Chain A
């Protein structure tokens, strides 16, 4: 293998790698703005200038191919002074907006200004002024003064989103980015430009001024917007989810996620939650205690034959929740009618990230045992059964069946008894006789299986009423860490909800279900012992980036 020497370290590399790539994979940081591992090389920021022996001038590490015997100095005197000069040039027209800029705290320019710049400006003239608030698209705000013209956003639109929308206009110190005439930055991945923008030129309009980045906690989790399950980070302040950002996973989503997933999959966590269990009393849904709701449910379930009961799992719930539902239905009540609703929109997949299957865990639900037993009814069969009066009781997990079509809504209204586990009040809970409050995906530990058959972890980022951030091992923000229990932010904005598997276990334990799991990891260990696909796995093995599992042919993946 060819070898290159960087900062005195002899390193092996593969032919075709650039100097910055070799340095990066060996933990040597070369400062850069315009280079991005998933985008083409542009080489215009000049920040990655390094000294290469036997080359007459400094070279940029991002576009110089590594070659055998090359000797590179990242931190030599010449390279450092060149970087200082580049920083000074970049800062000439960059406004001192850090106090009002959303990027502050995660800004490359800010970081490098501390790390590499000389700390003083010799520029005494007036800075170039430009437009401050340009709405480039429905989700992206552009501040022309802050732009350092790295062209990452332009290359992202061209190469990843496949939608040429942005370009440079003007020259010299007036250079700025703009959309093509008549165009908007409205591709389904537009918000990724705000992530890769090394400065605060492109920022999210949704997150605009909501919080400073250092005041939030971030939790590694996955997006539940479709069957892709993009790896993401959940940013929380005061127990409210404020934004999602993509997290790198080579096998699933690379560095990206779509705007739909980023903006619309978390807002339900903050609003209109089912807070505590509810039951129908004299035709009215009223709030009640857990014991009463559970007792009412059990008494009703016992009053019907197994043939008159149906269970619906959910492709939105975790594998653990679905597993517990299947155990309750098949193992305890001997109900054969169990299935879950599919949420396919054929033709909506775009070949980048977005999938046809709009639910995050269809494959996992099926693998966890939510499929009709032999001679049992499937989803359509169950609905028909309700219409014909054969099915009188429906137990429905975290899915808004009534909202899928008016026809379904009509069907559900014919039931004698409907139990719903729900995160939010919705069309199905309106018809329910018992509503159990369900913890949302960001409030519990769990697993989901994406369309590739990749098992991935959900982690709690938001605390429910019975959770303690430090005891649960949840990520904590500065305020969570250093505040006290009686601070107003400590116990505010909490919902009385429980992970569905816990509720199901409680209901089941009164009907003969012999399970006493305390944490979801135990549920998963139970699953790993009796479901072939999960064999030998546990939460540690799944890790931060998930693990591919063997999916047999019966569970067919839909992209």
Chain B
């Protein structure tokens, strides 16, 4: 029976392994003198670029009110049924506002559809990726946790205007 030809037969040097180990160690040694990409989280925080999709937040205007008009489109488009909105009437020009706005962060999949569908640029994906809860009810974020001053999300809104 003829000897079966492998896809690649190892050379003697390879069979010895030692040159390969030396090669690997050389790569490690080289990397030690290259610039570092890791950071010492949580002491050092990673600040993502504007294109990053962190937890969705509601934009709070300078006046302190939310931009949201409670149209419910984010709730409609949400593929994981994470968003619940209840509208109510306000005397402001926008006529309606969300009296209740809840996102179940256990359900949220950070797809960004809510932000994409929003006609008012009222819900945007923030840079916040640190989501910690000790029980499930804590994971339901109400307006108190969702509202973020517009200053903090300006670069995301800018990003959306350019690329949405």
Contact = CB atoms under 8 A, between A and B. Distances in A.
Interface residues of A, number: 18
Q: Determine which residue in A100, A478, A483, A489 has the highest number of CB atoms from chain B within 10 A of its CB, and name it.
A: A100
Contacts of B69: 99-100
B95 A100 contact: yes
B120 interface: yes
Given A214-B76, A479-B81, A483-B81, A99 B88 contact: no
Contact of A215 (B72, B119, B120): B72
B96 interface: yes
Nearest to B137: A488
Contacts of A268: none
Nearest to B68: A99
Interface in A437-487: 478-479, 482-483, 487
A36 interface: no
Contacts of B120: 99
A208 B99 CA distance: 14
Contacts of B87: 209-210
A209 B76 contact: no
A98 B120 CA distance: 12
B50 interface: no
Contacts of B72: 212, 215
Contacts of A482: 81
Nearest to B91: A133
A483 B76 CA distance: 13
Contacts of A487: 81
Nearest to A214: B76
Interface residues of B, number: 17
Interface string B66-97: 00011111011000010010011100001110
Given A208-B89, A209-B89, A212-B72, A100 B96 contact: yes
Given A99-B73, A99-B120, A100-B95, A209 B88 contact: yes
B140 to A, nearest CB: 8
Contacts, number: 34
Nearest to B79: A482
Contacts of A214: 76
Contacts of A489: 84
A133 B76 contact: no
Nearest to B122: A99
Nearest to B140: A488
Contacts of A478: 76
A205 to B, nearest CB: 10
Contacts of A212: 71-72, 76
Nearest to B69: A100
A209 B85 CA distance: 11
B89 A100 contact: no
B81 A100 contact: no
Contacts of B88: 209
A132 interface: yes
A100 B71 contact: yes
Nearest to A210: B87
A209 B70 contact: yes
Given A99-B71, A209-B70, A133 B81 contact: no
A209 B94 CA distance: 12
29 contacts: A98-B71, A99-B69, A99-B71, A99-B119, A99-B120, A100-B69, A100-B71, A100-B94, A100-B95, A100-B96, A104-B71, A132-B95, A133-B95, A209-B70, A209-B87, A209-B88, A209-B89, A209-B96, A210-B87, A212-B71, A212-B72, A212-B76, A215-B72, A215-B75, A478-B76, A479-B81, A482-B81, A487-B81, A489-B84
Interface of B: 69-73, 75-76, 81, 84, 87-89, 94-96, 119-120
Interface of A: 98-100, 104, 132-133, 208-210, 212, 214-215, 478-479, 482-483, 487, 489
